Amino acid sequence: MIGTVLMERYRLEELIGEGGMASVYRALDLRTGHRVAVKFLKQELQANPEFLDRFRREATAASRMSHHNIVNLLDISDNAATPYLVFEFVDGKTLKEIIAEHGKLSQGTAVQIAIRILSALRHAHEAGVIHRDIKPQNILVDRQGYIKVSDFGIARMVGTNTLTESEGSQGVMGSVHYFSPEQARGETTTFASDLYSVGVVLYEMLAGKVPFEGESPVAVAMQHVQAEPRPLHELAQDVSPRVESVVRKAMAKDPRDRFASALLMAQALHEALLPEKVTGAEPLQTAKPGRNGGQNHFRGHRRLRERVLLLLLSIVLLAGTATGVYYIYRDIVKTTRAPLLIGYTLERAMREASLQGIKVKSVRVSSDEPVDTVITQSIDMGEIMKQGDVILLTVSSGSARKPVPAFIGARLDDAKAQAERIGIELLIIREDIDPAPRSTVLEQSPAEGEIIEAGGIVQLVISAGQAVVPELNGLMYAEAVDALKRAKLQPGNVSQIQVDARDQQGRVASQLPVAGEQAAEGARVDLVIYVQPDGAVVPSPSVSPRGT
């Protein structure tokens, strides 16, 4: 199917996922240039009414929602013979993959992820959609750290426009490690069922493992109904009692003992991370009914205060969105694994590390390995690292005794790089005025080919370049500065001498070195300037160290 264009718009590029029910392709939207995900119901299931109904249910559920924490539906197949859905493309990993890579997540990161799942569920629940299959495999984390809830394939619609179904006839719906006790019993699911699943996902993020495991799906399902999970603090000592309390309440066996809504659970998690518990609204005062309908007035006042409280909770949660995304990006998305760099040349090792966003520091030691070969690395291959972290490489400088290279005629920077590769030191003992370009090596000791110990010193004489001092006498000061720059020199100390003749004021009276002398590039030429009798000062120019 690669290369196929759907609806004269979506060109399939790559198969990126496949499950028991559907296949997902990455595609290019030819109209917008954006990448999208196209989900096909498998051909062998297209004649199966149950799976076809489930696929249509996903489209119906997705069409009701548009939220930044939900993988949004963009288009629906116009071909009844080949059902497919077009979703936004999320370039990242599933939460399950991230847990497998990292093990336990930090409390702050895990809670921030859970809050975003709850934000998506709050929107879905308000649209009358129960997800029924919340699990890490259906939570996507993109490369910027944003959380997206996906796969509403077994969602149940409730509310005024109810999509009716007989849940009992369809058996148990959901994933055994994450579904609620009522799902395990085959009972009707409610919004509270999704919150139970979020509690299980949060437990797994904090503990690094699911709360219930067994030899068969039935054994796991029975534990959801009858058993209590091992306390979180026994598996993750850094989990605070307040966060553990939220997880415990979310995973209550009786749906009535769980949080009343996704918003209230998210608010409880937000408060659990604060240094001190945020004081809630004052309890409502009871009122006695009066002849003027005081009881009705009290009920209206209570409903108003409840709406205001929910609004305030929403604002508090939204205020933490940017900070939460930062921590998710820092702790999860912006991570990589240490590559194997041993045996590479240092240059190639630095390229490989750069591709993973890792910085390199290197030290050199004598060895029998070829010069510039990486011998060891400070972090083993496959270990998790944050992008921007530093890996220390030990690099071979060759054998302990080695011949001195030919440095004469080389630029100093090149000589230093060559000396570093083989583990010897350079010492500049003199700079001579010479026609050779500045920093060119003129002499070396020991000479080329002589044997030296690792860490030994080679003394160098380098060129300071050669410049001829121009004639400056009689030039205006600014003209003299320009002449020095052209000669690769720069002005030095500026002295002043008073003169009555107006045509001499501001001109160079004398210079040192004098015109025609040879000097090193960048050398300073001292000047004496004629000034007015009142001693007006000629400003010194702003020049670079080499006068260029």
Q: What is the pLDDT of residues 166-187, one digit of tens each?
A: 343 344 456 899 999 999 998 8
Residue 10 reports pLDDT greater than 90: yes
CA 74 – CA 241 distance, rounded (Å): 42
pLDDT at 442 > cutoff 90:
yes
Same topology between domain 401-463 and domain 467-531: yes
Copy the structure tokens of residue 260. 């009343």
453: which strand partners?
A: 401
The amino acid at residue 415 is A
Q: Greater confidence, 36 or 65?
A: 36
- Of 49, 67, 48, nearest to 120 (Cα)? 67
Are 165 and 60 spatial neighbours (Cβ–Cβ below 8 Å)? no
138-163 pLDDT, tens digit each: 999 887 778 899 887 666 656 433 33
Q: In angstroms, rounded to a whole number, what is the distance separating the alpha carbons of residues 87 and 132?
A: 20
215: Cβ contacts below 8 Å, ≥ 6 apart = none
Mean per-residue pLDDT, 506-518: 93
Pick the catalytic residue from 53, 75, 91, 133.
133
**Cβ–Cβ contacts within 10 Å for residue 34, how many?**
12
φ, ψ of residue 16 to 5 degrees: the values are -115, -5
Q: What is the mean pLDDT of residues 338-350?
A: 87
DSSP output for 328-345? HIIIIITEEE----TTSB
CATH fold for domain 5-88: Phosphorylase Kinase; domain 1 (3.30.200)
Measured distance CA(353)–CA(390) in Å, rounded? 9
pLDDT of residue 287: 41
CB proximity list for 126: less than 8 A, separation 6 or greater? none
Label residue 114 by pLDDT band (50, 70, 90).
very high
Bridge pairing between strands 457-463 and 425-432: parallel
DSSP conformation class of 373: B
Q: Are 468 and 487 in contact (CB under 8 A)?
A: yes
Q: Where are the domains of the chain?
A: 5-88, 92-277+300-327, 335-396, 401-463, 467-531
Phi (first) and psi of residue 350, to 5 degrees: -65, -35
What are the structure tokens assigned to 371, written together?
């010069």
What is the share, in percent, of the chain residues with pLDDT greater than 70?
A: 82
Contact yes or no for 425/441 (Cβ under 8 A): no
CATH code for the part of the protein at 92-277+300-327: 1.10.510.10
Q: Which of 76-80, 112-116, 195-199, 343-347 has the lowest mean pLDDT?
A: 76-80
Buried b (16+ CB within 10 A) or exposed e, 56-76: ebbbbbbebbebebbbebbbe
Edge-to-edge strands, sheet with 425-432: 425-432, 457-463, 441-445
> Backbone phi, then psi, for 275, in 5-degree steps?
-60, -40
Surface-to-core class of residue 259, CB atoms within 10 Å of its CB (0-12 exposed, 13-18 middle, 19+ buried):
buried
- Mean pLDDT over 428-445 rounds to 94
| pLDDT, mean of residues 14-35 | 87
CB atoms under 10 Å from CB of 233, counted, come to 15
Q: Is 133 among the residues known to form the active site?
A: yes
**Check: CATH 3.30.70.2740 for 401-463?**
no
N-terminal to C-terminal alpha carbon distance within the chain = 63
- Cβ 284 vs Cβ 306: under 8 Å: no
Reported CATH class of domain 335-396: alpha beta
Query: What one-character DSSP code corresponds to residue 150?
Result: -
53-99 tens-digit pLDDT: 777 777 777 787 888 889 888 888 867 678 888 999 998 889 999 99
> DSSP for 46-60?
TT-HHHHHHHHHHHH
Do 40 and 23 form a contact (C-beta atoms < 8 A)? yes
Encoded tokens for 134: 């919340």
Helix, coil or strand: residue 126:
helix
The model's confidence at residue 360, banded by pLDDT at 50, 70 and 90, is very high
Q: Crossing angle for the helix pair 95-102 and 191-207, nearest 10 degrees?
A: 20
CATH tag, 467-531: 3.30.10.20
**Model's pTM, two decimal places?**
0.56
User: Three-class SS string for 422-490?
Assistant: HCCEEEEEEEECCCCCCCEEEEEECCCCCEEECCCEEEEEEECCCEECCCCCCCEHHHHHHHHHHCCCE
H or E segment and range at residue 271: helix 262-273
Indicate the average pLDDT of the chain.
82
User: 131, exposed or middle or buried, with CB in 10 Å at 0-12, 13-18, 19+?
Assistant: buried
